Chain A
Amino acid sequence: MGDWHYKVFMDNKFLAPLDPTIFGYASARDMIDAYVPGTTSIFERDGKLYGLFSEYNTLALFYNLDMFNAAGVAPLSADTPVSWRMIADMAKKLTKRDSAGKLTQIGYRFGFFANFRSPQWYAQDFYALMRQYGQPDLTVDGKPAVTTKPVTDAFKLMYDFTWSDKVYDPSFPANWFADLPQGRVAMLLAGTWFVPAMIPHNPNVHFGVAPHPVVDPGNRSTYHNVEWSWGWSINANKPQAAQRLAQQFLAAILGKKGETDQAVWWFKTVGYTHPKKAFYQSTGYQQELVKNPWLRTWENAFTTYKIDYVTHNFDEVGQALIRAIDRVVYDQTQPADTARLLQAELQRLLGTK
Chain B
Amino acid sequence: MGRVRLAYQTKFGLLFISPAALYFAAFWIFPVALAAVTSLTDWRIGSPPHFVGLLNYVNLATDPQFHHAMLASLTITGLALVCIVGLALGLAVALHDPSLRLSSLFKLAVFIPVVTDWVATGLVWQLIFLPNQGVLAGLLDGLGLARWSALRWTASRQLAPLAVAIFIVWKMTGFYAMVYLAGLKSVPREIQEAARVDGASPAQTLWRISMPLLRPITVFVVVSGFVGVIGLFEPIFMLTGGGPADATRALPIFLYENFFQFQRAGYASAAGMLFLLMSLGFALVAARQLQYSFYD
Binding site for B on A (CB under 8 A): 8-9, 11-12, 14, 100-104, 113-117, 119, 170-173, 314-316, 319, 322-323, 326-327, 330-331, 348
In addition to A104-B132, A117-B243, A319-B261, 20 A-B residue pairs with Cβ atoms within 8 Å of each other are A8-B46, A9-B46, A12-B47, A14-B46, A102-B150, A114-B243, A114-B244, A115-B126, A117-B242, A171-B152, A171-B156, A173-B131, A314-B261, A315-B261, A316-B262, A323-B246, A326-B243, A330-B155, A330-B157, A330-B244
Residues of B within 8 A of A101 (CB): 150
Find chain B residues with CB under 8 A from A117 CB: 240-243
Bound form: Cα–Cα A243–B245 in Å: 44
B-chain residues with CB within 8 Å of residue A170 when the two chains form the complex? 155, 244
Binary interface encoding of chain B residues 245-280 relative to chain A, with 1 for a CB under 8 A from any of its CBs, else 0: 110000000000100011100000000000000000
Minimum Cβ distance to chain B for residue A322 (Å): 8
| Contact (Cβ within 8 A) A323 B245 | yes
Chain A residue contacts of B132, Cβ below 8 A: 102-104, 173
CA distance A316 to B262 in the complex (A): 6
CB distance B241 to A326 under 8 Å? Answer: no
A8 and B263 within 8 A (CB) = yes
- A115: chain B residues within 8 A (beta carbon): 126, 154, 239-241
Residues of chain B at the chain A interface (Cβ within 8 Å): 46-47, 64, 126, 130-134, 146, 149-150, 152, 154-157, 239-246, 257, 261-263
In contact, B46 and A315 (Cβ under 8 angstroms): no
Q: Give Cα A241–Cα B146 distance, bound, in whole angstroms.
A: 66
What residue in chain A is nearest B141 (Cβ atoms)?
A100
Distance in angstroms between the alpha carbons of A285 and B34 in the assembled complex: 53
With A102-B132, A114-B152, A114-B240 as contacts: A319 and B257 at CB distance below 8 Å:
yes
Which A residues touch B134, using CB under 8 A?
Answer: 173
Please give the distance in Å from A268's CB to the nearest CB on chain B. 29
- Assess whether B263 is in contact with A100, with CB atoms less than 8 Å apart: no
Leading 4 A-B pairs by shortest Cβ distance: A171-B155, A326-B245, A12-B46, A114-B155
Task: List 5 contacting pairs A-B, 8 Å CB cutoff, sorted by A.
Answer: A101-B150, A113-B155, A171-B155, A322-B243, A330-B157
Known contacts A12-B46, A314-B261; A330 and B156 CB within 8 A of each other: yes
Complex Cα distance, B156 from A228, in Å, reads 30
CA distance A322 to B65 in the complex (A): 13
CA distance A323 to B131 in the complex (A): 22
CB contacts (< 8 Å) of A103 on chain B: these are 132
Are B154 and A173 closer than 8 Å at their CB atoms?
no
Taking a contact as CB atoms under 8 Å apart, the answer to whether A173 and B133 are in contact is: yes
A326 engages B150 (CB within 8 Å): no
Option from A8, A171, A322 in Cβ contact (under 8 Å) with B131: A171
- Closest-by-CB residue of B relative to A119 is B261
Complex: how many Å from CA A114 to CA B262?
Answer: 22
Q: With a CB–CB cut-off of 8 A, which chain B residues contact A327?
A: 245
Q: Which residues of A contact B243 (CB under 8 A)?
A: 114, 117, 322, 326, 330
Supposing A14-B46, A114-B154 touch, asked if A330 and B245 sit within 8 A by C-beta, the answer is yes
Taken together as a complex, chains A and B put the C-alpha atoms of A119 and B260 apart, in Å, by 14
CB distance from A182 to the nearest CB of B (A): 11
CB distance from A66 to the nearest CB of B (A): 19
> A322 CA to B154 CA in the complex, in Å?
16
Which of B134, B156, B157, B245 is packed against the most chain A CB atoms within 10 Å? B245
Contact partners of B156 in chain A: CB under 8 A: 171, 330
